[in-house]
Structure 1
Amino acid sequence: MTRTKSTTGIPQRDFGRTGVKVSAIGLGGYHLGLVKTEREAIRIVHEAIDAGVTFMDNAWEYHDGRGEEIMGKALEGRRERVFLMTKVCTHGRNRRTAMRQLEQSLRRLRTDYLDLWQVHEVVYDNDPELHFAPDGVIEALDEAKRAGKVRFVGFTGHKHPEIHLKMLSYDYPFDSCQLPLNCFDATFRSFEQLVLPELLRRGIAPIGMKSLCGEGTPIRKRVVKAVEALRYAMSLPVATTVTGVDSLRILRQNLKVARSFVPMSDEETQELRSRCRRYAADGRFELYKTSKYFDGPPGREQHGFPRVEELAA
């Protein structure tokens, strides 16, 4: 995987076999919806782009579309400077539903095309069969590409490596795959060990996520430091590592790591894996792998699970 520095100091990497380069860190769309004000969220996007971050992550369902709306406003006048991705959230519904979501995403994001459209949250055992069924979302990926509304396509998920491998078993020409990669995943139901090598073998761009385990719990528990956890994730052979940013302080911390980035040595990565192994063993910091609690509302609904809000009532 080719790695270069941009004029801003943020490393740029090959996006799989596509011939495109993206920034080594990406900006997550979900956390933009957690920022106190829209004005501050837009400022975060602007500062990230001006610093050299090109990869923008989002999903149709984030905060009922609010995540895309914020990013759309922030990209006014900056669209051509970024590699824009969002996710389709049919969760087993048909091609027509997927295409309707695509049009909604394009309107919210204020653009007429996406650089990358990914099938969101492939986390249920029967998801691959549903997605590849006749009139399923995979047919929508093909239609969107033919129409010129999407350049590249992929899928995401965080539950179990075997589900990712089942998606790959259909031999569909995915351009990308998003997966949880962190120093705890390395020794627990490991996407790094089981899925990442297969993506690299196929020339599919790996997009790392959950470098701090989603909610940063191991950082608050002082098991690892945020900087070393992010550096570990970025040291893996991925195209980009999507980071959740809900404040300018966090953005600037991440930018500092990226600008000064030097890959961990084999000895450093092994030391960190070994240090985290005991905490990783029961999945306490990766509950998105072991529980349905963190699965998104549309997916829960389509698979017959109650909304999290109902469970708390």
Structure 2
Amino acid sequence: MEKRSLGKSDVQITPILMGTWQAGKKMWVGIEDADSIKTIRAAFEAGITTIDTAEVYGEGHSERIVAEALSDVRDRVEYATKVFANHLKHDQVIEACERSLTNLKTDYIDLYQIHWPSGAFSSEIVPIEETMNALTSLKEQGKIRAIGVSNFSRVQLAEASKYGRIDSLQPPYSLFWRQIEKDAVPYCVENNISILAYSPLAQGLLTGKFKPGHKFDPADNRAKNKLFQGENFERAQQALEKLRPIADRHNCTLAQLALAWLIAQPQTNAFTKGVGNAIAGARYPEQAAANALAAEVKLSAAELTEIDAIGRIVTDHFDDSPIMWNW
């Protein structure tokens, strides 16, 4: 898989990344460690070398699973992890990074990200300057190679950028969830900040496997995902039916089509190669291998426009809230 530059850093990433929220087990149902390890390894063997995790995914469990899967090929992969909103004071950032380094069994992290802005989930308000100073210090020490943020608005991204170089933004972004296009995408294009989209398959909705009437276990985070509820879910089913013929033309799955669309974003004259990238999670090895194949699906400008219009069957009915869940 051809790699892309991460922002202006010297880190190279694959446009499809392996997401490992599910490997942490918390807020997911039916996840087995052995499956997670095999799946992460399968992603690597299929060409996905960039792995995204976070300290909050099972309180470090996901990070430890990543290490178990990939420690023997550490020099051939890129680790991206995150510090949570309750650890944004200077010393807390340093301590969290050390824990992640230990969990990942490595002496450096390729991309270290602020998971949520200060104040999220009732966390203490910490000046972004303090957090960025800690991250810059870690970068100067060689413990991290690049700094990123997740779930930041354009305003928050611009404020953080005053205190250090931000090379990536990780927002929720998919064909069915596109608020980011109104807010931060133009800023990212202008400032050469890579977008690492999480939930690029709308938590599995864009695979087409969830039929009308599907009910999630209450412990599954998707039970509170707005996309799976009421009229939103019905509109998604209509859109999926319109996407199937395009997928058939390319002899690919709906999921591969959705990922191919995303890594071709944004469609602007100011397009900078590598701005749009997709973090795709998987429970099983065959899913990870299939996700990797999305990088080979090449869509024409006309097809990208057609897919864009189909996605708006769903997205035109949402407000501007960036939060995908009714938490």
TM interval, shorter chain, is 0.7 to 0.9
Query: Using a 3 Å threshold, how does the CA distance of structure 1 residues 292 and 93 change in structure 2: closer, same or farther?
Result: farther
Q: Cα offset for 1:174? A: 0.7
Q: Among 174, 178, 188, which residue is 1:182 paired with?
A: 174
Q: Which amino acid aligns with 1:268?
A: E
Q: Among 144, 156, 165, which residue is 1:173 paired with?
A: 165
Conservation of the 8 A alpha-carbon contact between 1:156 and 1:178: yes
- Structure 2 unaligned residues grouped into runs of 5+: 212-236, 241-253, 266-273
Q: Which residue of 2 aligns with 1:254?
A: 291
SS at match of 2:142: coil
For 2:200 and 2:324, locate their aligned partners in 1 and report how far apart those are by CA, in whole Å: 17
Q: Which residue of 1 aligns with 2:7?
A: 16
Q: Among 161, 164, 168, which residue is 2:154 paired with?
A: 164
For 2:285 and 2:324, locate their aligned partners in 1 and report how far apart those are by CA, in whole Å: 32
Q: Which residue of 1 aligns with 2:133?
A: 139
Q: Which residue of 2 aligns with 1:227?
A: 256
Please, what TM-score do these two structures have when normalized by structure 2?
0.74
Segment of structure 1 superposing worse, 95-104 or 53-62: 95-104
Identity of aligned residues (%): 24
Map 1:290-301 to 2 at 5 A.
Answer: 291=325, 293=327
Q: Which residue of 2 aligns with 1:45?
A: 40
Conservation of the 8 A alpha-carbon contact between 1:13 and 1:239: no
Conservation of the 8 A alpha-carbon contact between 2:111 and 2:145: yes
Conservation of the 8 A alpha-carbon contact between 1:22 and 1:239: no
Q: Among 313, 316, 320, which residue is 1:278 paired with?
A: 313
Question: Does 1:116 pair with 2:111?
Answer: yes
Map 1:204-219 to 2 at 5 A.
Answer: 204-216=193-205, 219=208
For 1:256 and 1:115, locate their aligned partners in 2 and report how far apart those are by CA, in whole Å: 24
SS at match of 2:202: coil
Q: Cα offset for 1:278? A: 2.9
Conservation of the 8 A alpha-carbon contact between 1:88 and 1:101: yes
Q: State the Cα deviation string for residues 142-189 of structure 1 (Å, max 9, x = none).
A: 12112221111010017xxxx233321343421211122221234xxx
Q: Which residue of 2 aligns with 1:304?
A: none
Aligned residue pair count: 273
Question: Does 1:289 pair with 2:323?
Answer: yes
Q: Which amino acid aligns with 1:139?
A: N
Please, what TM-score do these two structures have when normalized by structure 1?
0.77
Q: Cα offset for 1:125? A: 7.7
Q: Cα offset for 1:81? A: 0.6
Question: Does 1:155 pair with 2:149?
Answer: yes
Q: Cα offset for 1:123? A: 8.3
Q: Cα offset for 1:287? A: 8.3
